[in-house]
Chain A
């Protein structure tokens, strides 16, 4: 396999890992206004993501950085042509990031409400925007040979893009509810499990709809029909969808969350594999697409970056798993009395 293809796969995997990890934070933030009845419940939700959300978000920075390093032309065209949605995403993430740190720093209900609103918007909007953006990438965006977008934000809000947005919001909300269930006890735990149960059939419906729309409105299945072995990815997604329900009913919440992670990861990879070898397909003319071939870095950069990734990424994964294990206990009232708690 050539270096470009290896980096294409790593690129897809990095985005998938980001969606899996930050997905549960974004999901918890998105369900918070509808879920939490009291301030204490909100604090349980904040502290369920407390030690992790920051490290999770770095996967986004890494996914962005790797796009820049391995496929600079794709990075340039993708981010400049999706300027407005990307700026919205950044502002949303800014508000979310500071809401964690600021919320508990002034003892006033109005202050807390302000940051709760920011956390909600900063979670819901990124879920929606990432879904819309990636669905549009899967479908192809109207870029010309200069990499200039012919259209605006409304062009991106087409039915398929919106379906992708709804899909991501639901995937993350379901994923977040499961994480909250895993990290809580008593009434919050029971209600989080029940919420995941309520979201599941809607999510399953939207997944079916999204697949049908992908079949009818995009060229994503071409690669699959040429190489039927790739259908393994779709099978894994289906398995994730069914298993997450099965484990939840069996009361094995962590396993159910893991199945949800599999579902999210394979959903992202489903699209990435579908657009191969393009990273950013053009809907105007396939010749204008940004591909591995016309947008990758020099072989030397790709090789050095691969060395860096092979050394550091396993280390990162190891210490992030250690962190997840160290803080795996459920958040209880005693934890909320902890001085540093959010």
Chain B
């Protein structure tokens, strides 16, 4: 393998591991802030214990999110130096703004929140966790706007051999970026809801701390339902935007080969990119692809054959990741409705439901990872859509360097992720103080 392929693997791996931790951070910080708000408003100590219990899980998870995020920022320079030099004018400034306007706030006030329980008034302490929650999500906005530029470049001019800023307003009002942000964040908040519901279900199944975990369950279930529905609504809009600005990605998501009106969707298909067709197609629903993509059943949807081969994304991966995302997303809505119905007396609902909800914890994780795979793999072969190819973006460095660092990433990240899951499981099962 060459430097390009190794660098792609390294970046993909580092992003996926980073994205195990980040979504929980985005959503759980908000849930903890809501719990602590209830404590400050009502003076009910249960809510303080809740903020502390879920806060401990948050912190274990947060540490990994931070350290894996730092490496991502620097990998643009180490592994993608030609990309960095080409788009630094725009992309770099979004990353710098993220650090200055959001990440400082998040990291500083998290320290204040951890160590401030006895040092600050309840209201100032509450402010600290709200600042953490707002900053974490604000941070995501800047990062996804930066990614939005890679997906749908706007507000730039090509001069001096690079992409220079043409309109900052266009860059930060990029519709692709904003919708992708909403899609990601609603997904992350749903994930946090499922996490709280699932861990609560584990304790309720064992009939321990029933009051504490019923209250947690109720907050988590409301969150999971609202946001697993919203993520689908925003996701539909995301599909429309992709259809408009990244037609090759849309075609790959559906393994759609021939340009046609009233384009159908198949519940199951097996892409055969070598022969430019699907070897198996089952469950044809006429006109649905046209309807989903353009809100018009008779709209014409461009097929992969209309793109030169070198401009097509990897079809099988994009297609299956999209299927996984939609499938799991649907399962999440069903589970969230069941949890919401049971929210007042979950311990009296069936043990089967509680068990199901424990097994529901990994679903949103897989769903979000699949979603990112659709977005990132579907963007290929471009690093900046239509402007710069991934293969032209890689650093002119020795393959051996990247091979060694990739091996180190595998070992260190897998070990850390395993330790993290071990600690999360240990503290999720512990009794609240």
Contacts and interface: CB of A to CB of B under 8 A. Distances in A.
B71 A90 contact: yes
Contacts of B74: 64, 79, 86, 90
Contact of B78 (A70, A86, A105, A305): A86
A312 B120 CA distance: 24
Nearest to A66: B96
A-side interface size class: 35 or more
B42 interface: no
Interface residues of B, number: 70
B103 A61 contact: yes
A334 to B, nearest CB: 10
Interface stretch (A26-34, A48-56, A234-242): A48-56
A146 to B, nearest CB: 7
Given A62-B100, A65-B92, A80-B79, A105 B433 contact: no
Contact of A94 (B59, B117, B412): B412
Interface string B107-137: 1111110111111100000000000000000
Interface in A147-188: 147-148
A93 B116 CA distance: 25
A102 interface: yes
Contact of A338 (B73, B84, B101, B118): B118
Interface of B is mostly: helix
A203 interface: no
B115 A55 contact: no
A91 interface: yes
B279 interface: no
Interface string A66-85: 11111111011111100110
Interface in A323-342: 323, 326-327, 338-341
Interface of A: 50-55, 57-58, 60-62, 64-73, 75-80, 83-84, 86-87, 90-91, 93-95, 97-98, 100-102, 105-106, 146-148, 297-298, 300-301, 304-305, 308-309, 312-313, 316, 319-320, 323, 326-327, 338-341
24 contacts: A61-B70, A62-B96, A62-B103, A64-B77, A68-B88, A69-B88, A72-B84, A76-B81, A76-B84, A80-B81, A80-B397, A83-B397, A83-B405, A84-B404, A93-B67, A101-B59, A297-B88, A301-B89, A312-B101, A320-B104, A320-B108, A323-B112, A326-B112, A326-B116
Interface of B: 52, 59-60, 62-64, 66-68, 70-71, 73-74, 76-79, 81-82, 84-85, 87-93, 95-101, 103-105, 107-112, 114-120, 160, 162, 164-165, 168, 395-397, 401, 404-405, 408, 412, 416, 419, 423, 426-427, 433
